[in-house]
Structure 1
Amino acid sequence: MSTAKRKPSPERSPAPRRVGGGEDPFRDPALFLNRELSQLEFNRRVMAQAMDASIPLLERLKYLCISCTNLDEFFEIRAATVRTALEYGGPLPPDGLTPAAAMGAIHEHAGRLVQAQYQFWNDTLRPALADAGIRILPREAWNAKLRRWLHELFIEEILPVLSPLGLDPSHPFPRILNKSLNVVVVLEGRDAFGRSGGMAIVRAPRSLPRIVRLPLEVSGGENDFVLLSAILSAFVDEMFPGMRVKGAYQFRVTRNSELFVDEEEVENLAHALKDELAGRGFRRAVRLEIAENCPTPIVRILLQNFDLQENALYRINGPVNLNRVIAVYDMVDRPELKFPSFTPRPARISGDTPFDSISRHDVLLHHPYESFQTVLDVMKAAAHDPDVLAIKQTLYRAGANSPLVESLITAARNGKDVTVVIELRARFDEEANIRLADRLQEVGVQVVYGVVGYKTHAKMLLIVRREGSKLRRYVHLGTGNYHPGTARVYTDVGLFTADPDIGNDVHLIFQQLSGLCTEIKLKRLLQSPFTLHKGLLRMIERETRLARAGRPATIQAKMNALNEPTVIRALYEASCAGVQIDLIVRGACCLRPGVPGVSENIRVRSVVGRFLEHSRVYWFGNDGEPEIYCSSADWMERNLLRRIETCFPILDRDLAARVYEEEIGNYLADNTQAWELQSDGSYLRVTPPEDGMPHSAQRSLLARLCE
């Protein structure tokens, strides 16, 4: 793909020089990019994957749908947060953008992204899918036979679960669920009670499939589909017999999905969250999507009902829930239109039990290239091993029907002491985690909900085993969740170790989470919210001192996001001192690289590929004695200051070299799926040099590590 064109700054001109005056010259708002607009830039990079003709066709469909889903979550959380600040006030972010200005910029940039999504869907992807024999048939493409079949389907399977609501003084506007599919209908005539026509709302229950596969004998194609929204619009008159339908227009509203629970005021967090979850789908609206041809008077009524301004309106040329088309990916068996399959490599663990191998040497796992099954196997072995006395684990997202959870249950039934720290507030997994907590408690697992005011985001597993006359601790630490599903599509690093110092550190953290104690002193690990932030600043400052002394000084790090202002200012100071800084930041980045006199020595790149980059790895040159850490924490304010996170060193030299080569050097060399952040906040696609070889970090790892 050719290099992307440079785009203008999302919110202001870039700072061209170092600003002077004041005790801290790096507090100038012009030196910070806006977090929300940077997040939208990430979604543009996801869209670029969809538009890349070298990627298999169904994978391009998946990227498009992911970009739509990402945008949904962006409005539910980030845009909703800005709207809350707009209404209730609060401190300005480091970039200095007021909530009003930020909200205006969000809608402007999101509007362009939505336009690009639907233009690509209508003009490129949908026709390409049809050419490949995968048709999503619009109403105008239905023949008489297909229409009869769909009409019968509507009468028998859809109409019985619909409850259309005519709007009048006795039927006020209904509650519209977050992100649900709805149709606003304009009617003419008089009903049986003499009421004149007007507006009606048809809500599509979540029980109805959003995309319907057509039988071969009906449509003539093996992979033909129709969207539920098209069926509702086509047969809407069946819901209002005797009335004339003047128009039917699909719409969808996105609502604030942040949960607000005053943890210090509730006696039972689980019960409080259950109550809050019940109302989440009807919180404050932040965006309205509606059919492009909906008349302006109808739009105004909807905007007024949802208390939205005109700039929160998105007129859609296609299905308002385009992300639902992702179902086609799994419904179509066309391997040639998907990425080639691969088999993750199992870990090299030998001995009668996995503990024999881990006791001899640390074991590194690089997912998804190396199998997460190793973690499941260790847990299964621990559950059945008579010498294992206790298991302690954190769970942020575990996934439905996880074998890992079954092992925890088996361990408890086998009489082992099992403690699980479950984060009930894991966004969009709250309900699943409450159910998981209830299930574990039923079999005698001690379930802990973490610490009031701090999400437990750390990824830790501790197994206590009796070996002879002594107890030995076996530990797994990771950058990603204990989730078999995401372990197949997210890149993450995990470490099994029997190192006594690390084992004791993890023991102390679990003790801190489940009991009451003062701040603990750890020997090997860094922990948020106590030592990780300070430790990062200390290591950045060490490189700064080395550079000022004329010594080689380097910082290289990989993470999902960067917005913590103190860390950013420390990086600016290090850059001014001559430290060479390379950052691989997948998503939002609030640091401006390449600003003369401020960040000339900082380079930021983002890699977007087949797998979601999720690992966090920090490398510091340390005057020829490099240190490398893996962590559950991004360099974000929430992770460093308001969460329970862990950051662990890779002590084995060979494994440390491997982590650096695979996670840092490999990604800095990527010239096919990497994007470089410019000082104005835009990203440029990296392309291979004319006389050089193309290099994809992810493809090289697939070739090297997978079977």
Structure 2
Amino acid sequence: MSEQSVNEIDKKETIPSPPLELDSELVLEPIPEQPQDPNKIAIEERLPEEIDLADPELYFNRELSHLQFNARVLEQAMDENHPILNRLMFLCIFSSNMDEFFEIRVAGLKSQLEYSREKNGPDGMHPKKVLGLISEHAHKLVRRQYRILNDIILPKLATENVKFIRRTVWNEKQAAWVKRYFRDNVLPIISPIGLDPAHPFPRLANKTFNFVVELEGRDAFGRENGLAIVPAPSSLPRLVKLPDEVCEGGDNLVFLSSIIHAHADQLFPGMTVKGCFQFRLTRNADLEVDSDDIGVDLAGALRTELQSRHYGSSVRLEIAENCPLHIVDSLLKQFDLEQQDLYRIDGPVNLSRLMAVLELVDRPDLMYPPFSPGLPRKLASSGGLFEAIRQRDYLLMHPFESFSPVIDLLSEAAKDPSVVAIRQTLYRTGSRSPIANALVEAARNGKEVTVVIELRARFDEAENLALASRLQDAGAIVVYGVVRHKTHAKMILIVRREGADLTRYVHLGTGNYHAGNARLYTDYSFMTCDKEIGDDVHRVFQQLTGMSKELKVKKLLHAPFTLRDRLLEMINREAENALNGEPSRIIIKVNSLTEQRLVQSLYKASQAGVKIDLIVRGICTLRPGIKGISSNIRVRSVIGRFLEHTRVYYFYNNRNPKVYLSSADGMDRNLNNRIEVAFPLQDYKQTRRVKKELEYYLTDNTQSWILQSDGSYQLSKPRKGEYRSAQRALLSELADNTR
């Protein structure tokens, strides 16, 4: 990033004020607790020795905490310090997040009830109670989402000459153009379905866009008065840009829903359309590949399961706000849903599709300015990446620093005649990505290429199957990890012949090998040729691709074997130091924190006097601020321009700090049911650097939400002239740098 661009950003006051109130409704309200025995003393009033650290009162509900994260994302659409198109993006991201929340989390709770497999979490709340509370809070959030869209975002865009033209205000030229568009592009491919005994209700796929139409009159076969379903073809764009000749200037957009609604009568000639109402059905989209039934063909089992993903059990119905009650009730009955599963919508039923605005509207002035990621001088000016990494380890932080060295390392290895083997794990990357291209080239050049692809990376399964086929066709060896454990570790191992020796070059990261994500997510990349780390990574790959007893690793922490227990040991060591009067400190930055033993260990450390700072972007079941239990624990969530994705574990370790970076969050699945690694920073300068970057987050007072002991989140309020943003500081310090 140029000095001028950095200065321009610094001059702009990024001062997120508290969420602008559309009404008095509290959005980030406390997480409800289980009703307590009236004869039981409140946990805040008990002595520490009287409290069992497994007491449900010490834990927030996982799903409700997840919903609160989505609420914090939604509030970014209210933050006037984000450019208006970025605010629209946050609204779309919230919509997409809620889709996945219903597809996976709500669907899972419903399945527990359906199959009588109810299981209370550490908070002790029954799934049925959780579903009721989710419905209550989700309805509030969705109502707020559409008020933000209709009352703030769309009017603000209109003042910038980006207009969404509703059918009720089309002028004569616009109506004529839309009519031709409908005739030429929509009518030929749309298939209305009248409902009667010969035309049963169609099987609608997950999240497809549909209309329910109420008809009056008698058709050519004598059928009269009824309902019809009109599925909107997925091939049609959900937003259409009107040509300049029918508008007065600016960018003018029309919703596909408006186009179909305005011409619904043409779909049913001779009938009277009494009403046309858009709706969308959300289904269970969690794949259930049975590890005991798949034999040796995980890919085949997954392909079969993918076919049924679109037709899982119903979990949510979104429908136009003005749809008559008798039609709504008919649809609820058809989809076997209850009233709490119904969401009446005042606008388009799928706001995530509004992301198309960014492609249709060329208005860079309404978005964050682009920047050039930084690149350390020695890495850029060396005689090649292998030479640079031989001289020292490199630590990069994306997106502030470039992801290109990771791609270049693989590309260089693919061409280098001295490279004899490449091994890599892939979780999300894309079948035609630069990473995939480099691996294909390496295999075609005769390298021994072995790739561990996690086929079950949620919603990337089909892409990963395509990637596996492409790599196999190129001659690479492809394996799918371990059946009952997802491979989530991010590792590259390159073996290079140098004289009479074989040298191992390693890349380890906290995020996926996805160039697009590297521009949007904050993640660390670490490159080294340290012999012991190379040996460790080699052993982890041996376990992934072969079959062996647990192999001891020297420097890495390896889930599900050593990572959790070593983290607990380091937490306990800080507690011992505090009890012995030694200085102690713990800082953990993760996406989510739910693992009960980890939480209990942090409670004990807090009781011992350890100062603990937790930077938890999303779900946090730990309850801070309880006297005698967690009074030394502070929890904050930072939500900003980039998605926080780094995982860092920092321990003061009696003046000899230990820092581990990892692909693993503090969750049950990461520590107990996945293949994960955490890697140490061995260079003092790198350790000090990461500590400094953590402090940026701990002192952020513009995009930090502080978790309260009642489960509510409060947005930090900076004093005038004391505005601190972690992401802005990192952007200024690392982007386009020549260190």
TM-score where L is the length of structure 2: 0.94
Measure, in 2, the Cα distance between the counterparts of 1:472 and 1:315: 61
Of residues 660, 669, 672, the one that matches 2:702 is 672
Q: What displacement does 1:9 show? A: 2.4
Task: Report which stretch shifted further, 141-150 or 629-638.
Answer: 141-150
* Counterpart for residue 448 of structure 1: 479
Alpha-carbon deviations, 1:290-332, whole Å to 9, x = none?
Answer: 0000011110111111111100100001111122111102321
What is the identity percentage for the equivalent residue pairs of Structure 1 and Structure 2? 54
Question: CA separation of 1:18/1:449 partners in 2, compared to 1, >3 Å: closer, same or farther?
Answer: farther
Q: What displacement does 1:263 show? A: 2.2
Q: What displacement does 1:401 show? A: 2.2
Measure, in 1, the Cα distance between the counterparts of 2:18 and 2:621: 22
Question: CA separation of 1:19/1:99 partners in 2, compared to 1, >3 Å: closer, same or farther?
Answer: farther
* Counterpart for residue 59 of structure 1: 86
Question: CA separation of 1:539/1:210 partners in 2, compared to 1, >3 Å: closer, same or farther?
Answer: same
Is the 2:48–2:628 contact (alpha carbons within 8 Å) kept by the matching residues of 1? no
Q: Which amino acid aligns with 2:714?
A: L
Measure, in 2, the Cα distance between the counterparts of 1:242 and 1:18: 73
Measure, in 2, the Cα distance between the counterparts of 1:133 and 1:400: 38
Q: What displacement does 1:335 show? A: 1.6
* Counterpart for residue 569 of structure 2: 538
Of residues 113, 117, 134, the one that matches 2:141 is 113
* Counterpart for residue 320 of structure 1: 349
* Counterpart for residue 33 of structure 2: 12
Q: Which amino acid aligns with 2:168?
A: E
Q: Which structure 2 residues correspond to residues 546-695 of structure 1 after superposition, within 5 A?
A: 546-662=577-693, 664-690=694-720, 693-695=722-724
Q: Which structure 2 residues correspond to residues 353-372 of structure 1 after superposition, within 5 A?
A: 353-372=384-403
Measure, in 2, the Cα distance between the counterparts of 1:183 and 1:152: 21
Is the 2:592–2:666 contact (alpha carbons within 8 Å) kept by the matching residues of 1? yes
* Counterpart for residue 2 of structure 1: 17
Measure, in 1, the Cα distance between the counterparts of 2:49 and 2:268: 69
Q: Which amino acid aligns with 2:81?
A: S
- Aligned pair 1:345/2:360, yes or no? no
Of residues 417, 420, 428, the one that matches 1:397 is 428
Of residues 281, 293, 304, the one that matches 2:333 is 304
Alpha-carbon deviations, 1:347-404, whole Å to 9, x = none?
Answer: 4314332111101100111100111111111111000001000000000000352111
For structure 1, the residue ranges without an aligned partner over 5 or more in a row are none
- Aligned pair 1:131/2:153, yes or no? no
Measure, in 1, the Cα distance between the counterparts of 2:47 and 2:108: 32
Task: Report which stretch shifted further, 184-193 or 12-21.
Answer: 12-21
Is the 2:60–2:711 contact (alpha carbons within 8 Å) kept by the matching residues of 1? yes
Q: What displacement does 1:196 show? A: 1.2
Q: Which structure 2 residues correspond to residues 483-494 of structure 1 after superposition, within 5 A?
A: 483-494=514-525
Alpha-carbon deviations, 1:140-186, whole Å to 9, x = none?
Answer: 11112111111111111111111111111111111111111100000
Is the 1:185–1:199 contact (alpha carbons within 8 Å) kept by the matching residues of 2? yes
Of residues 190, 194, 200, the one that matches 1:166 is 194
Question: CA separation of 1:578/1:21 partners in 2, compared to 1, >3 Å: closer, same or farther?
Answer: closer
Q: Which amino acid aligns with 1:500?
A: K
Question: CA separation of 1:404/1:137 partners in 2, compared to 1, >3 Å: closer, same or farther?
Answer: same
Measure, in 2, the Cα distance between the counterparts of 1:476 and 1:608: 28
Alpha-carbon deviations, 1:477-504, whole Å to 9, x = none?
Answer: 0000000000001000010001111000
Secondary structure of the structure 1 residue equivalent to 2:44: coil
Task: Report which stretch shifted further, 630-639 or 140-149.
Answer: 140-149
* Counterpart for residue 734 of structure 2: 705
TM-score where L is the length of structure 1: 0.98
Q: Which structure 2 residues correspond to residues 78-117 of structure 1 after superposition, within 5 A?
A: 78-88=105-115, 89-117=117-145
Alpha-carbon deviations, 1:98-133, whole Å to 9, x = none?
Answer: 111000000110100000000111111111111110
Q: What displacement does 1:250 show? A: 0.2
* Counterpart for residue 122 of structure 1: 150
Secondary structure of the structure 2 residue equivalent to 1:161: coil
Secondary structure of the structure 1 residue equivalent to 2:586: strand
Secondary structure of the structure 1 residue equivalent to 2:225: coil
Q: Which amino acid aligns with 2:362?
A: D
Secondary structure of the structure 1 residue equivalent to 2:305: helix
Q: Which amino acid aligns with 1:315?
A: R
Q: What displacement does 1:91 show? A: 2.4
Measure, in 1, the Cα distance between the counterparts of 2:28 and 2:471: 51
What do you get for the CA RMSD once the two structures are aligned? 1.5
Q: What displacement does 1:220 show? A: 2.7
Q: What displacement does 1:20 show? A: 6.6
Measure, in 1, the Cα distance between the counterparts of 2:630 and 2:51: 15
Measure, in 2, the Cα distance between the counterparts of 1:488 and 1:557: 23
Of residues 247, 261, 264, the one that matches 1:219 is 247
Secondary structure of the structure 2 residue equivalent to 1:265: coil
Measure, in 2, the Cα distance between the counterparts of 1:452 and 1:480: 22
Q: Which structure 2 residues correspond to residues 200-239 of structure 1 after superposition, within 5 A?
A: 200-239=228-267
Q: What displacement does 1:224 show? A: 0.6
Task: Report which stretch shifted further, 487-496 or 51-60.
Answer: 51-60
Q: Which structure 2 residues correspond to residues 264-279 of structure 1 after superposition, within 5 A?
A: 264-267=292-295, 268-279=297-308
Alpha-carbon deviations, 1:204-229, whole Å to 9, x = none?
Answer: 12111111111010223331111111
Secondary structure of the structure 1 residue equivalent to 2:292: helix
- Aligned pair 1:281/2:321, yes or no? no
Q: Which amino acid aligns with 1:471?
A: L
